[in-house]
Amino acid sequence: MRLNPTRQSRLLLGSMMAAAFTPLFLSAQVPEGKITTREAEAIQRARKGARPRPVAHRAPLLSSEQNATKVFRNAKPSVVYITSIVLAANPKMEDTPAGTGTGFVWDDQGHVVTNQHVVNTDAVKGQGPTDEADALNVTLADGKTYKAQVIGRSLSYDIAVLQVFAPLDRLKPLTLGKSTELLVGQTTYAIGNPYGLDHTLTSGVVSALNREISSSLGNAIRGVIQTDAAINPGNSGGPLLDSAGRLIGMNTSVIGPGNRAGIGFAIPVDTLNRVVPLLIARGQLEPVYLGFTALIPAYARAMGVTQGVMVSDVEPGSPAALAGLRPLRLDREGHVVAPGDVLLTYQGTPIQNGVQLFDLLEVEPPKGAVVFEVLREGKVGKIILKVEPPKEVKKENR
């Protein structure tokens, strides 16, 4: 198509006028997300002047800040990271991390204290006590990891004591305070590993004293400390400290939206100082000698036992032996010849796993005789064990 000269002149003139007034149009009607030429030039000028800003000198830390950093610095080497592990039933499969939590060095003999629920698995979460982890690793503040073993436990107080196989000179015990001396309003510091973030410090105050909370069994733990220092998943088992850096409690639970950043509770140190030495000395608070040990959960599951406790060993002459309880039998190559008896109920209460049975024995120590329902060779029967008083050197029921 051809345009006449007059038409071409008009188009040319229109184009020139549009070009001349483009900046005016852009500044008056800037499409969203666009900038003007002038604004683009301003950005370029600012880029040329980019350089680090001068740092202002600050005054010394406030006394409260100095104390917080000192408390953390001194306590950090005493706080450990705990990883619980479920062993694979098949040697060709990898072991599975079951959970993480916090603990703290109790003494100079390699003992670490934490919550019992930290060393349990989540296999039956929400259905009462769960199985204890098959293995535990403890990572110290220097980043080195060592094996650990539960040597004492109390589900009724939610306390577990671990023996950590680390050089003793690497383990620094915390200084103990006294929870009966606490006052509402005084400063608290919590150190733990929330969500796997190691050695996290939060602070708050003692919000209330002599609270009562429930353990995993539903029994009451009394004299508990309430604090508003942030406690989240992974903080369980960690220390609650006063402004002098002394241990005043063990962080154990929280009530709030989604069980996080709510009202925190800590088992008082006076309770720990009474219970922990007993757990170290004899494994449980009120030991009852029955004379058998339980097969570890991973091996029991591999043999098809998902509920109850399979008997692994029976000590000769013990109540279990006299009652006729049968242990697991293996040949010389370690192959199963015959499975052990599976304990299904204790005094009429169904047994979920070894941890639950252990705690039933602790909360209501039996006297005289106890009755177990036992699965043997596909048939269910009853076995009566005559209970003996605690003895100095006996294997613990595990």
Using CA atoms, how far apart are residues 308 and 343, in angstroms rounded to an integer?
Answer: 5
Q: What is the pLDDT of residues 34-73, one digit of tens each?
A: 889 999 989 998 898 889 999 999 899 999 999 999 999 9
What integer pLDDT is reported at residue 33 of this predicted model?
63
Q: What is the pLDDT of residues 209-236, one digit of tens each?
A: 988 887 765 667 878 999 998 888 788 8
Nearest alpha carbon to residue 243 among 60, 77, 70, 61: 70
**How far apart, in Å, are the Cα atoms of 10 and each of 18, 25, 219, 349?**
12, 21, 95, 101
What integer pLDDT is reported at residue 232 of this predicted model?
81
What integer pLDDT is reported at residue 128 of this predicted model?
47
What integer pLDDT is reported at residue 147 of this predicted model?
93
Whether the pLDDT of residue 329 is over 80: the answer is yes
Whether the pLDDT of residue 19 is over 90: the answer is no
Q: Tell me what the pLDDT averaged over the chain comes to.
A: 81
User: Cα torsion for 62, 65, 69, 71, to the nearest 10°?
Assistant: 110
Q: What is the pLDDT of residues 232-261, one digit of tens each?
A: 878 889 999 999 999 999 998 877 555 445
Give every CB contact of residue 82 below 8 A, 6+ residues apart in sequence: 100, 101, 102, 103, 112, 114, 118, 119, 136, 137, 138, 139, 148, 162, 237
Using CA atoms, how far apart are residues 260 and 263, in angstroms rounded to an integer?
Answer: 8
- Residue 332: what residue type? R
Q: Exposed, middle or buried, 396 (CB in 10 Å: 0-12/13-18/19+)?
A: middle
Radius of gyration of the chain (CA): 33
What integer pLDDT is reported at residue 262 of this predicted model?
65
Nearest alpha carbon to residue 373 among 309, 292, 313: 309
Neighbours of 344 (CB within 10 A): 16
What integer pLDDT is reported at residue 295 of this predicted model?
87
Q: In a 3-state reduction of DSSP, which class is residue 328?
A: coil
**How far apart, in Å, are the Cα atoms of 382 and each of 80, 373, 374?**
44, 5, 6
Whether the pLDDT of residue 123 is over 70: the answer is no
pLDDT tier, 110 (very low <50, low <70, confident <90, very high otherwise)? very high
* Domains of the chain and any CATH numbers: 76-170 (2.40.10.10), 179-282 (2.40.10.10), 292-386 (2.30.42.10)
Whether the pLDDT of residue 311 is over 60: the answer is yes
The residue with tokens 């029921």 is: 397
Q: Which residue has the higher pLDDT, 31 or 275?
A: 275
What integer pLDDT is reported at residue 256 of this predicted model?
59
The residues annotated with a catalytic role in the active site are: 117, 158, 236
Whether the pLDDT of residue 76 is over 90: the answer is yes
Whether the pLDDT of residue 349 is over 90: the answer is no
What integer pLDDT is reported at residue 335 of this predicted model?
86
